[in-house]
A and B are shown apart, each in its own frame.
Chain A
């Protein structure tokens, strides 16, 4: 079996057993990127020299017996994480020239774990989008069907792992940006509890919703990745001071008596029937594994998309004010005066979706509208959290589809923001509540992958991973690979 057919956990063993060196492994993936990424466009920047230098160091560490599970493993980072001396574009023309002078905490943690960075991954501009079509660097293709989108905003992260251009990658999830592309690309994605992973150095879209997480082939791989990523960071006041367990420790627990809640709101109108069938089949699988199914209600979930599209744009309108052409990033040519500098730098530097959200958010925070929009949305957010609180009194995890549809064609929803926003209808609520959620490959509809979403209680990532791992032990959806990239 060739190297790229192995998952992260297997590659870790290969390295440890010295069946392959990190330099060889890294070169293998660099070659694959070279071969396949022209069509996929999943990378914005490939850092070959940097990666090979890191790989060499990793090999030294392995030789000295100082290797951890991620030492020498090639990974790719979503281009939203700041990387010292390496371009960090956030998928925007605005930051096409931006070289960060510092590393994001997540990047530091992977460096400390001895991982190798292959490059920086394409994404929707400033993580705003559900199809990776808003990127300044062009759309990413879905490896299962290159006419289709990979989902977004972590489209490059999902596509690169699905095509095995990297064994695993990082993503960020503000309203579904890890889970939805994981679903559309047939791989595993985990959005941890808000506050579990440091946001320092991760370019902010909506600060109260953004959370970084792993995109991998398996739940076990996700556990290994989260072990490295999670933890309190004194540089992020919203990160939580809570011990980090070994997220791989409970993977083997059986699921007898596990209570799975199925919210009726996640199976109603708008859900593609074939996707629904796949999800129902996966639920049957869980029953076979001893789980108990409980029907639940999340009565306010219908409000999550509107609430999200007030809160997220409001925060983004403020977060993106720093891109003003003064200190870094894009600056227009020959500004006449200060106002011209601001107007043109921002008009020329930002794409249409980013501008749309800045305008919505600015409006929602304006004097006279604040109470009706922002404050109201925050109250709705509380109601949504309360729904989950009630539900978790009855069940251990909640399941449903990650996205209402499989991957759609490029261009299909580009002119219809509302249709695009509905791609995240099942994922947004967990961000509003701050809960952890996963997407796990559960089958196919129309030859395209379908993801099962598993939502857990706060800081219950261990259980989520256990529930996903037991499913993956008994199914092979997660090992399926798109034909052209085997």
Chain B
């Protein structure tokens, strides 16, 4: 039987506020356990939550960016359950009336088409602390530094039909929250993680199959793996005559399996009710207008602009706009490289997507920790576009810049890099032609490929100082 996969994601993204959502404690990551938990975060008797307005503003930015309705009147509710890292015995979240309503976002499919994924809602809530099970000899340590960190939970419609689509959606949301500067999106630190609701159904069937919820997946790679594993498992269950049960499952990356955490019957009754300690959040039209004015250029708009203004291919534009830091880097490099000519932007795109990204990947660095700044790369591209260096020399300059030898001009001067002048190049070509009469004959007999041989020879003899374009031109003339 042919199966259709149905996926919905709940993404938890940590908002980049300085202080917590309901207290003044810092949200900085990595501090000594329990040093960033104040009386409110500890849930001491008598303390009360006070809403951090910055978190609301950030949620509204997200809502506006996905074309969603922003609630004028949203309510915080208590989600009650006991857990040692949940100090109050309830989490302040939103149930009815979330801050962000229905919206949508477009993803690009592998075949180049786009698909719209619905976002059901996004709501604000506080994060819990962490239970530390290692290093305590049979006991559990509690670190409440994370307790009260603001989260935006973004719930999608069950619109995705493959693990790849789910990843594409997750990446889009990741890119968006980073663009909006409402989250650092740091997945290692848990700032961006998701739960995946997965089900399968025979192709053509209207009703959804029974779903399983995969909890707390914190990388794009794991999302894809976990979903594929779960899909296989569900199909196996059904094909061997069984039934998928509604349950919560945990993805274990080390063992490469998903396993049951709890079934629907064991599901907790969270006894949601409006939090009487917090007033409803009232948002006016004016508030929304003001926040809208602060929105940056969004990735989709930026991508379209790159295509139109810089004559960039859709592929290049989508890669360069996927990450805001990368897009900013590229734009800065292009700007430094000289006037907005199509050639330079294309050149900059190639360098950023090619050599730079490759090198960053290889050395486990990101665009923001790149040893070569956008200005440095732009400076190099400028010289390359002016033919002040050859592309071979550019690679040398790039390596030297990476190794901290300064900017392009410094390196060019120090190393005396200069393309060969036309007289020199002509002399070299004449020599090559004279030394290889056989190949000249072949060329004249119509074997055009031989041209490559001559260019190669010229580059070799000039030790890379000749400009390949110039060599090509001169060769073509001389062989006429």
- Where the two chains meet, the residues of A that have a C-beta atom closer than 8 Å to any C-beta of B are 81-82, 88, 90, 95, 98, 100-102, 104, 199-204, 206-208, 234-238, 314-315, 317-318, 320-324, 326-329, 338, 342, 362, 365-367, 370, 374
Contact: A315 with B45, CB < 8 Å? no
Contacts of A206 on B, CB cut-off 8 Å? 276
Contact: B276 with A201, CB < 8 Å? no
Contact: A366 with B269, CB < 8 Å? yes
Contacts of B46 on A, CB cut-off 8 Å? 81-82, 88, 100, 104, 200-204
CB-CB under 8 A for A338 and B84, given A237-B49, A238-B277: yes
Nearest-neighbor residue (CB-CB) of B76 within chain A: A237
B383 to chain A, nearest CB (A): 58
Residue B87 lies at the interface, judged by CB distance under 8 Å to chain A: yes
Q: How many Å lie between the Cα of A141 and that of B89 in the bound state? A: 35
Q: How many Å lie between the Cα of A208 and that of B80 in the bound state? A: 17
A311 to chain B, nearest CB (A): 9
B342 to chain A, nearest CB (A): 56
Contacts of A322 on B, CB cut-off 8 Å? 43, 45, 87-89
- Which residue from B39, B48, B140 sits with its C-beta under 8 Å from A199? B48
Nearest-neighbor residue (CB-CB) of A233 within chain B: B48
Contact: A238 with B279, CB < 8 Å? yes
- Which residue from B44, B89, B142, B276 sits with its C-beta under 8 Å from A315? B276
Q: How many Å lie between the Cα of A359 and that of B28 in the bound state? A: 39
- Which residue from B82, B90, B273, B278 sits with its C-beta under 8 Å from A237? B278
CB-CB under 8 A for A318 and B45, given A234-B50, A235-B50, A342-B82: no
Residue B51 lies at the interface, judged by CB distance under 8 Å to chain A: yes
10 further A-B contacts with Cβ under 8 Å, apart from A100-B44, A207-B277, are: A235-B50, A238-B48, A238-B277, A314-B273, A317-B80, A317-B271, A318-B78, A322-B87, A324-B82, A327-B43
Contact: B271 with A362, CB < 8 Å? yes
Contacts of B39 on A, CB cut-off 8 Å? 101-102
Nearest-neighbor residue (CB-CB) of A206 within chain B: B276
Q: How many residues from B make CB contacts under 8 Å with A? A: 29
- Which residue from B47, B87, B89 sits with its C-beta under 8 Å from A200? B47
Contact: B277 with A367, CB < 8 Å? no
Q: How many Å lie between the Cα of A276 and that of B82 in the bound state? A: 48
Contacts of A367 on B, CB cut-off 8 Å? 269, 271
B102 to chain A, nearest CB (A): 24
Contact: A318 with B273, CB < 8 Å? yes
- If over half of B's interface residues share one DSSP class (helix, strand or loop), that class is named, otherwise mixed; here it is loop
Contact: A327 with B45, CB < 8 Å? no
Q: How many Å lie between the Cα of A366 and that of B278 in the bound state? A: 21
Contact: A370 with B273, CB < 8 Å? yes
Q: How many Å lie between the Cα of A320 and that of B80 in the bound state? A: 11
A480 to chain B, nearest CB (A): 35
Contact: A318 with B50, CB < 8 Å? no
Q: How many Å lie between the Cα of A237 and that of B318 in the bound state? A: 45
Contact: A102 with B48, CB < 8 Å? no
- Where the two chains meet, the residues of B that have a C-beta atom closer than 8 Å to any C-beta of A are 39, 42-51, 78, 80, 82, 84, 87-90, 140, 142, 269, 271-273, 276-279
Q: How many Å lie between the Cα of A81 and that of B279 in the bound state? A: 23
Contact: A321 with B88, CB < 8 Å? yes
Q: How many Å lie between the Cα of A362 and that of B84 in the bound state? A: 19
Contacts of B279 on A, CB cut-off 8 Å? 237-238
A125 to chain B, nearest CB (A): 13
A342 to chain B, nearest CB (A): 6
Q: How many Å lie between the Cα of A90 and that of B44 in the bound state? A: 13
B88 to chain A, nearest CB (A): 5
| 17 A-B interface contacts by CB (under 8 A) | A88-B46, A95-B45, A98-B45, A102-B39, A104-B46, A234-B50, A237-B49, A238-B278, A315-B276, A317-B271, A318-B90, A318-B271, A322-B45, A327-B142, A365-B80, A370-B273, A374-B273
Q: How many Å lie between the Cα of A41 and that of B115 in the bound state? A: 73
Contacts of A236 on B, CB cut-off 8 Å? 48, 50
B73 to chain A, nearest CB (A): 15
Contacts of B269 on A, CB cut-off 8 Å? 366-367
Q: Which 9 A-B pairs have the closest CB atoms?
A: A321-B89, A208-B276, A365-B271, A207-B276, A201-B46, A322-B43, A203-B45, A82-B46, A367-B269
Contacts of B273 on A, CB cut-off 8 Å? 314, 318, 365, 370, 374
Contact: B45 with A82, CB < 8 Å? yes
Contact: A318 with B44, CB < 8 Å? no
Nearest-neighbor residue (CB-CB) of A207 within chain B: B276
Contacts of B276 on A, CB cut-off 8 Å? 206-208, 238, 315
Q: How many Å lie between the Cα of A101 and that of B37 in the bound state? A: 13
Contacts of B43 on A, CB cut-off 8 Å? 322, 327
Contacts of B88 on A, CB cut-off 8 Å? 321-322
Nearest-neighbor residue (CB-CB) of A201 within chain B: B46
Q: Which of B39, B46, B140 has the most CB of A within 10 A?
A: B46
B85 to chain A, nearest CB (A): 9
Contacts of A207 on B, CB cut-off 8 Å? 276-277
Q: How many Å lie between the Cα of A280 and that of B385 in the bound state? A: 101
Q: How many Å lie between the Cα of A81 and that of B50 in the bound state? A: 19
Contact: B42 with A327, CB < 8 Å? yes
B122 to chain A, nearest CB (A): 22
B36 to chain A, nearest CB (A): 15
Q: How many Å lie between the Cα of A145 and that of B78 in the bound state? A: 44
Contact: A318 with B84, CB < 8 Å? no
Contacts of A204 on B, CB cut-off 8 Å? 45-46, 277
Nearest-neighbor residue (CB-CB) of A321 within chain B: B89
Contact: B271 with A366, CB < 8 Å? yes
Contacts of A101 on B, CB cut-off 8 Å? 39, 44
Q: How many Å lie between the Cα of A98 and that of B42 in the bound state? A: 14
